[in-house]
Amino acid sequence: MSETIPNFFMVGAPKCGTSAMYSYLNTHPNIFLYPQKEPNFFSDDLKGVRPSDPEKSLKQYLRHFNSANTKIIGEGSTWYLYSQEAAYRIKKLNSSSKILIMLRNPIEQMYSLHSQLVFGGLEKITNFEKALLAEKSRKEGSNLPSNMRNLDNLSYKRLLYTDIAKYCAQVERYLQAFPSNQVKIVIFDEFKANPKKSYLEVLDFLELDHSYLPDNFKVINSNKVRILKGDYIQKIRTHPLILAPTRALIPYSIRRSAFKSLGRVWTKINTRHESRQPINPELKNKLISEFTPEVKALSNLIDKDLSHWIEV
């Protein structure tokens, strides 16, 4: 049986509305998306472990699309934009792929991403300004979470907020790899103001008619905080009174699945949705000054006025 090759990729950036767009597109009867968002198959330069057998890994990845019977077949991985490899690996797989990029004011994007990574436990520096100040030392291997202290673990690059928010070179990679008519750019501000309009524009880009709309365009992936701090599930899992008997009596695969399920339940119970506090005005002005050349370059690259992103 021949393999089904995807022809559509939502490549990022993170915290730019991709979860909502993925959710809306995933309900369309003529679109098949990878079973879960963020497989990140093509961004090996941002992973903790590289695949030992790339050909085997590709077959395993493509197997997820075998049941697709739609015009559009794809996936959404927000780190593909930041990745220096993903654009060219996607092109190698299917040079006819359509690419969807979503962009947001870089200062808002950084602040939102930091909040998400703190919530997820990946970021241990809970103060945003201090996390930005730590970027230089993190590139040298210090101020990293314990599971990233070896720079061979490439996941630490996801904590380099300033680099992630410098979109211009990232977008240019895709415009060099693919013809411009295969790349669609959606601006978060416009998507947030009128999600239906942006959704329909993406359907036009994918050459699909407007006969199907989601039941509603609800907010997806809003800001979250933990009610109780601390990794309680990890403490339970590694407690001697739990660890020894479960290792002796329960196979690893079952233990792993059980603790994952327990973790999901605990996260749901221990989560509160609330708006982020406004960013410190002094820090914001400093970041506006730093990002002004970047935003101007991006505006020229995509031929769109983004000056409102750098208004003081």
**Do both 44 and 91 map to the same domain?**
yes
17 burial (CB, 10 Å; 0-12 / 13-18 / 19+) is buried
Instruction: Report the distance separating Cα 115 and Cα 276, nearest Å.
Output: 8
3-state class of 101 per DSSP? strand
Considering the domain boundaries, does residue 212 fall inside one? no
Indicate the average pLDDT of the chain: 86
Identify which of 162-171, 220-229, 239-248 has the greatest average pLDDT.
162-171
For residue 188, the model assigns a pLDDT of 97
- CA-derived radius of gyration, the chain: 21
Is pLDDT of 225 > 70?
Answer: no
Its domain, for residue 34, covers 8-106+164-205
Lowest-confidence pick of 25-39, 168-182, 187-201, 213-227: 213-227
**Mean pLDDT in residue range 131-154:** 84
Long-range contacts of 159-163 (CB under 8 A, 24+ apart): 159/117, 159/122, 159/123, 159/131, 159/134, 159/135, 160/135, 161/110, 161/113, 161/114, 161/131, 161/132, 161/135, 162/110, 162/132, 162/135, 162/290, 163/82, 163/135
Q: What CATH number corresponds to the domain at position 172? A: 3.40.50.300
Is pLDDT of 182 > 90?
Answer: yes
For residue 70, the model assigns a pLDDT of 96
**Do both 42 and 179 map to the same domain?**
yes
**Do both 84 and 177 map to the same domain?**
yes
Is pLDDT of 74 > 90?
Answer: yes
Residue percentage of the chain with pLDDT more than 90: 63
Nearest CA-CA partner of 90 in 31, 178, 207, 204:
178
- pLDDT level of residue 220 (50, 70, 90 thresholds): low
Residues 6 or more apart whose CB falls under 8 angstroms from that of 3 comprise: 59, 62, 63, 65, 66
Considering the domain boundaries, does residue 21 fall inside one? yes
**Do both 240 and 173 map to the same domain?**
no
**Do both 86 and 174 map to the same domain?**
yes
- pLDDT level of residue 229 (50, 70, 90 thresholds): low
Token couple for 153: 């673990």
Considering the domain boundaries, does residue 219 fall inside one? no
**Do both 194 and 253 map to the same domain?**
no
- pLDDT level of residue 145 (50, 70, 90 thresholds): confident
Instruction: Report the distance separating Cα 291 and Cα 293, nearest Å.
Output: 6
More confident residue, 118 or 185: 185
**Do both 18 and 68 map to the same domain?**
yes
For residue 77, the model assigns a pLDDT of 96
For residue 53, the model assigns a pLDDT of 66
Lowest-confidence pick of 66-80, 115-129, 156-170: 115-129
- pLDDT level of residue 231 (50, 70, 90 thresholds): low
pLDDT in tens, 285-311: 999 999 999 999 999 999 999 999 998
pLDDT in tens, 252-292: 667 666 766 665 564 555 555 556 688 999 999 999 999 99
The total of structural domains in the chain comes to: 2
Considering the domain boundaries, does residue 2 fall inside one? no
More confident residue, 235 or 6: 6
Considering the domain boundaries, does residue 115 fall inside one? no
**Mean pLDDT in residue range 42-69:** 83
**Do both 192 and 232 map to the same domain?**
no
In the chain, what is the straight-line distance between the N-terminal and C-terminal CA atoms, in Å? 58
**Do both 186 and 263 map to the same domain?**
no
Considering the domain boundaries, does residue 245 fall inside one? yes
**Do both 54 and 189 map to the same domain?**
yes
**Do both 62 and 12 map to the same domain?**
yes
Considering the domain boundaries, does residue 63 fall inside one? yes
Considering the domain boundaries, does residue 58 fall inside one? yes
- pLDDT level of residue 224 (50, 70, 90 thresholds): very low
**Do both 187 and 233 map to the same domain?**
no
